[in-house]
Chain A
Amino acid sequence: MELSFYLVQLLNAIQYGFLLFLVASGLTLLFGIMGIINLAHGSFYMIGAYLAYGLTEMTGSLWLGILLGLPIALLVGYLVERFAISFLYKRDHLYQVLLTFALILIFNELQQILWGTDVHGVAIPAPLAGSIPLTENQSYPVYRLFISAVCIAIAGGMSWVIQKTRLGMMIRAGASNREMVQALGIDVNRLFALVFSLGVALAAFAGMLAAPVDSVYPGMGENVLIISFVVVVIGGTGSIKGAFIGAMLIGLVSTFGKVLLPEMASIMAYALMALILLWRPQGLFGRAH
């Protein structure tokens, strides 16, 4: 195996890591700010992928599909927060787990009612459909590079919002001390609704971007969900930086695991998480409590 082969794997790992980061960053904020374990977060990834599929079929363009799909995802996020999640803030983790599990069942049924149980594919838009040749028989698809580039832009934007804006200040304050933020007179309900909807939109956006490279299938959310939790826990809950490092670690470990140790690949991400928690029970960037 030559160098270019490893380069392709490295690029794949980074692209996978970025998509995981989009899903996990919402999840880690939900936990850090609102103290919510949201098992249904993977469903939003699935909803995003199905929206991309459905709207692309309707409009004939992935770009239009994403443009129309994002407001729908935001709306779904807002409604779910109002009518389900907002009842959970004061509840025990156990009830959060149970209720959001029930939400998964409901979303999965709705998906089957709307789109059926078939596996679908979304075509890569024409300008990005090519691939860049690396050697005679190795090449790398442009669309995957495009995903990474978009994710870098989003990660940069998020870091700017969180470090430099008033909203980001409230988010950081909320993650470090929820009661104090409330006591300072910030409308926490509105903050929670906003953060939740943004988290949903990010997860859905990840699903939309991934739709052309992965197929769109029922239950696709669950696979992403568990691995995103691993990312959140490795990074430490509430830490965007942690989610980023965690996502890249998992991207590398699962991609290279599949190449180097195929029979152990699925186990390695979990083993890594167990090891990290043994060393730092609060995750890499989590605060000790």
Chain B
Amino acid sequence: MAVTTRSLTLPAALLILVLFPLFGSSFYVGLLTRILILAIFAMSLDLLIGYTGLVSFGHAAFFGIGGYALAIAFQDATTIHLWQALPLSLAAALAALVVGWISIRTSGIYFIMITLAFGQMFFYYFFESPRYGGDDGIFLFFKPVLMIGTESILNLENENTFYYFALGCLVTGYLLLAMILRAPFGKVITAIKANEHRVRALGYSINRYKLVSFVIAGTLAGLAGFLEGAHSGYVNPSYMSWHSSGIAIAIAIVVLGGMGTLYGPIVGAFIVVLLQDFLPSLTEHWQLLFGGIVISVALFLPRGATSLLPRILSRRQTTRPDSPPPEDGPREPADG
């Protein structure tokens, strides 16, 4: 019953996530909230690198812009109304439209580098701007609330409420992306990743498709940055940095989890955050271990940790040849 096991994995995982705050301590609820937020960010990056074939090195900028939009608009406010604040993450969509419009004209290493250049421009803009706190960034002392009249319906000050809100955002994002990918648009962008020239020969305007994909991914990254800013209570330029906490880690999350699938980045976010939480307790020089793990996965398991699941299931299947073969995961990317 390999196929049934597999189709049950997602609902079971969701159930565990929904029930978690009933058992977990508030520290772990907070940690898990961070994982869920990063998962949204990684999922949006996967739409670019795993589905559209665009290795964007500036994606962290949209994450940062989502956070900064919230922080700049509400840094002096005593109440942050969610219905006013949430649309601000659309600032990232606008930035993605401009950056994407320019960047998609290039390809290969030039695309990686021009997106990196834009990412660095946003990073330094906020890093050197005294108005937005420069290096220190901006602190937010309140969390958003949803109120009707004077009645508060959803107060994110409560750790559990925030957790469910983030989970809701992740599930909504997942379903939206799944829908987009199932639609003709999704077929076209996956085809662009597989063979750009052929898609162009079929008469599609590939730049338009790439741009739409870039903007959708940027918007979702903005939402994740918005959540991160609201959750941690501060926004600073490190949101947009290319190493340590920024884009390189996000790429690690996507590849470690398994790119080209929507659940891969979610699993990857769990793996990476838990590793970053656990490894420092082993040794002071934990980055050595982390680097080693990243290298081994990228070399020996290029389709990520989630590619192990169908492999384990298909091994079980060999003992039972009558059951249908499990659907294979995404194929390895074409060699460059």
Q: Are B255 and A274 in contact (CB under 8 A)?
A: no
Q: Which of B128-142 contact A (CB under 8 A)?
A: 128-129
Question: Does A104 belong to the interface (CB within 8 Å)?
Answer: yes
Question: Does B51 belong to the interface (CB within 8 Å)?
Answer: no
A87 to B300 alpha-carbon distance, docked (Å): 11
Q: Are A87 and B336 in contact (CB under 8 A)?
A: no
Q: Which of B279-319 contact A (CB under 8 A)?
A: 285, 287-288, 290-292, 294-295, 298-299, 302
Q: Are B299 and A87 in contact (CB under 8 A)?
A: yes
Q: Are A267 and B105 in contact (CB under 8 A)?
A: no
A84 to B118 alpha-carbon distance, docked (Å): 29
Q: Are A92 and B335 in contact (CB under 8 A)?
A: yes
Given A101-B251, A109-B287, A222-B243 in contact, is the A90-B112 Cβ separation under 8 Å?
no
Q: Which of B235-275 contact A (CB under 8 A)?
A: 242-243, 248, 251-252, 255, 259
Question: Does A248 belong to the interface (CB within 8 Å)?
Answer: no
Question: Does A169 belong to the interface (CB within 8 Å)?
Answer: no
- Closest CB in chain A relative to B122 CB, distance in Å: 9
A91 to B118 alpha-carbon distance, docked (Å): 26
Given A101-B252, A110-B288, A230-B117 in contact, is the A266-B110 Cβ separation under 8 Å?
no
The stretch from A49-57, A154-162, A278-286 touching chain B is: A278-286
Q: Are B336 and A93 in contact (CB under 8 A)?
A: yes
A101 to B250 alpha-carbon distance, docked (Å): 12
Question: Does B162 belong to the interface (CB within 8 Å)?
Answer: no
B125 cross-chain contacts in A, Cβ below 8 A = 267
A271 to B255 alpha-carbon distance, docked (Å): 30
Q: Are A226 and B242 in contact (CB under 8 A)?
A: yes
- Checking A109, A110, A112, A277 against B114 with a beta-carbon cut-off of 8 angstroms, the contacting residue is A277
Q: Which of A22-39 contact B (CB under 8 A)?
A: 31, 35, 37, 39
Q: Are B291 and A102 in contact (CB under 8 A)?
A: yes
Question: Does A94 belong to the interface (CB within 8 Å)?
Answer: yes
Q: Are A263 and B49 in contact (CB under 8 A)?
A: no
Interface 1/0 per residue, A92-114 and B, CB below 8 Å? 11110111011111101110110
Q: Which of B104-132 contact A (CB under 8 A)?
A: 105-110, 112-114, 116-118, 120-121, 124-125, 127-129
- Closest CB in chain B relative to A106 CB, distance in Å: 4
Q: Which of A237-289 contact B (CB under 8 A)?
A: 237, 263, 266-267, 270-271, 273-274, 277-278, 281-283, 289
Question: Does A229 belong to the interface (CB within 8 Å)?
Answer: yes
A95 cross-chain contacts in B, Cβ below 8 A = 255, 298, 302
Given A229-B113, A267-B124, A281-B106 in contact, is the A98-B290 Cβ separation under 8 Å?
no
Question: Does B170 belong to the interface (CB within 8 Å)?
Answer: no
- Closest CB in chain A relative to B198 CB, distance in Å: 17
A271 cross-chain contacts in B, Cβ below 8 A = 117, 121
A230 cross-chain contacts in B, Cβ below 8 A = 113, 117
A277 to B58 alpha-carbon distance, docked (Å): 16
- B interface residues, tally (CB under 8 Å): 45
Given A101-B248, A106-B292 in contact, is the A266-B128 Cβ separation under 8 Å?
yes
- Closest CB in chain B relative to A147 CB, distance in Å: 26
The total of interchain contacts (Cβ-Cβ below 8 angstroms) comes to 129
A277 cross-chain contacts in B, Cβ below 8 A = 106, 110, 113-114, 117
Q: Are B113 and A84 in contact (CB under 8 A)?
A: no
Question: Does A233 belong to the interface (CB within 8 Å)?
Answer: yes
Q: Are B333 and A113 in contact (CB under 8 A)?
A: no
- A interface residues, tally (CB under 8 Å): 46
A226 to B128 alpha-carbon distance, docked (Å): 18
A91 to B102 alpha-carbon distance, docked (Å): 27
- Closest CB in chain B relative to A276 CB, distance in Å: 10
B92 cross-chain contacts in A, Cβ below 8 A = none
A263 to B129 alpha-carbon distance, docked (Å): 8
- Checking B287, B292, B298, B334 against A98 with a beta-carbon cut-off of 8 angstroms, the contacting residue is B298
A103 to B285 alpha-carbon distance, docked (Å): 14
A282 to B114 alpha-carbon distance, docked (Å): 11
Question: Does B55 belong to the interface (CB within 8 Å)?
Answer: yes
- Closest CB in chain B relative to A85 CB, distance in Å: 12
Given A101-B251, A102-B298, A274-B102 in contact, is the A94-B110 Cβ separation under 8 Å?
no
B110 cross-chain contacts in A, Cβ below 8 A = 233, 277, 281-283
A39 to B55 alpha-carbon distance, docked (Å): 14
Cross-chain pairs A/B with CB under 8 angstroms, 13 sampled: A91-B336, A93-B112, A93-B336, A99-B294, A102-B252, A102-B290, A105-B287, A222-B243, A226-B116, A230-B113, A266-B124, A274-B121, A281-B106
The 7 closest A-B pairs by CB, nearest first: A105-B291, A266-B124, A102-B294, A102-B291, A106-B291, A270-B117, A109-B288
Task: Name A's B-contacting residues (CB within 8 A).
Answer: 31, 35, 37, 39, 84, 87, 90-95, 97-99, 101-106, 108-110, 112-113, 222, 226, 229-230, 232-233, 237, 263, 266-267, 270-271, 273-274, 277-278, 281-283, 289
What would 19 more interface pairs be, CB under 8 Å, given A108-B287, A233-B117, A277-B106? A93-B55, A94-B55, A98-B248, A99-B299, A101-B252, A101-B294, A102-B290, A103-B291, A106-B288, A226-B120, A226-B242, A229-B113, A230-B113, A230-B117, A233-B113, A266-B124, A267-B125, A273-B113, A281-B107
